Structure 1
């Protein structure tokens, strides 16, 4: 990979494979490398997760380089590039991540191509279902329309299935447009109490 595209210093020569957290400045305190690198050591892999600080001018060029580097296995996408990476991936993206419009995880698919997903919503859904059971057929109310709320909404919509419903509560026209896009119901904050009686969670 062309290290001139990266703002911080990295060393690649000794590694068989590498992963990365890619963002504006993940080298300034990102926790992902500690977690991933502990796992690589535990399993005896000559692999490391690196922090790659990249400017908005260089992000697309860096992604192009990484996609061609067979030693790059994937990694995490940090702010502010989750939406940029989703657009760059084009069709190599999970349905949920496409609905959210943002990617936080890259991996190599069975064809060796980089593919993206969004694990924020998946983690929320799995965590809920492991504790409380399936959401299939339920009516779920999501408060807010920020990035995390969008991810949770998209995954819970898949979880509730055709017999269930997701209601997104918010104030913004942007949030309403998102609800319509993923085929969720929309409720204004001022109307929230009118809709609580039929909500399961």
Structure 2
């Protein structure tokens, strides 16, 4: 019987995950099925239990990542740090392992893009789930500094204290960062975080966790206009975190460079 995988969410019809994992499977010669599963509101546990009667693993997207965290029998250190799960795997003993590959997907993509993380000073804009999911993997790369900034300073402070990093208000930021990461959702509605132009102009790299088909978000466009040396949207991170899930399930590393080139051209 073909091994069964899926992505859970609500809404879910828009998800690229089925196409990405179909590409990985074909490219690596792995035989599997991968389907989108719409999770009715408040029914994650029941939906997941039914799936894992014969399912091997699944990805989890909004708004189900906290539900997946609660559902998992055991958690990886990355899932524990993020407080959320985006990947579930059924182990040989029947227990369900929860992992979070988002942050490692980001650091892998930054390395692919030639960003030097060792000793880097990094500014993370946003204090929600997206920001929480990337800080631990960034710290694992021996960065010199991580500062969390948010419109609501108390949220930034709470998140920063959890990871032992700095928090700051937008008003008090200094222009002293190599890498600026937009972990807010502002690019989804075409707006921008209230970041001073001077900070963007002195950064060498700006990264938006959101992505657009043409690779340009509101934030990356602004960063280039203000003199930031290099920018990227989060499409590479999307592919990288999916590849990490695939490897967790199948023990095979997909060719992420080939996948990024293929889907960017679609």
Please report the TM-score for the alignment, with normalisation by the length of structure 2. Answer: 0.59
Structure 1 residues 126-173: Cα deviation after superposition (integer angstroms, max 9, x where no partner): 111233355233332212223322222232122226xx3311111322
CA contact (8 A) 2:78 2:101 kept: no
**Residue 24 in structure 1 maps to residue 10 in structure 2:** yes
Show the 5 A alignment for 1:175-186. 175-186=156-167
Pair 174,88 (structure 1): closer, same or farther in 2 beyond 3 Å: farther
Query: Which blocks of at least 5 consecutive residues in structure 2 are unaligned?
Result: 180-266
Show the 5 A alignment for 1:1-201. 15-26=1-12, 28-43=13-28, 45-67=30-52, 69=53, 71-89=54-72, 92-109=74-91, 111=93, 113-132=95-114, 134-160=116-142, 164-172=144-152, 173-193=154-174, 196-197=175-176, 199-201=177-179
After TM superposition, the runs of 4+ consecutive aligned structure 1 residues lying more than 6 A away are none
Query: Which blocks of at least 5 consecutive residues in structure 1 are unaligned?
Result: 1-14
Pair 73,126 (structure 1): closer, same or farther in 2 beyond 3 Å: same
Structure 1 residues 12-32: Cα deviation after superposition (integer angstroms, max 9, x where no partner): xxx521101111231x22211
* Root mean square deviation, CA, Å: 2.4
Pair 142,44 (structure 1): closer, same or farther in 2 beyond 3 Å: closer
Q: Secondary structure at 1:30's aligned position in 2? A: coil
Cα distance between partner residues in 1 of 2:110 and 2:28: 29
Q: Secondary structure at 1:85's aligned position in 2? A: helix
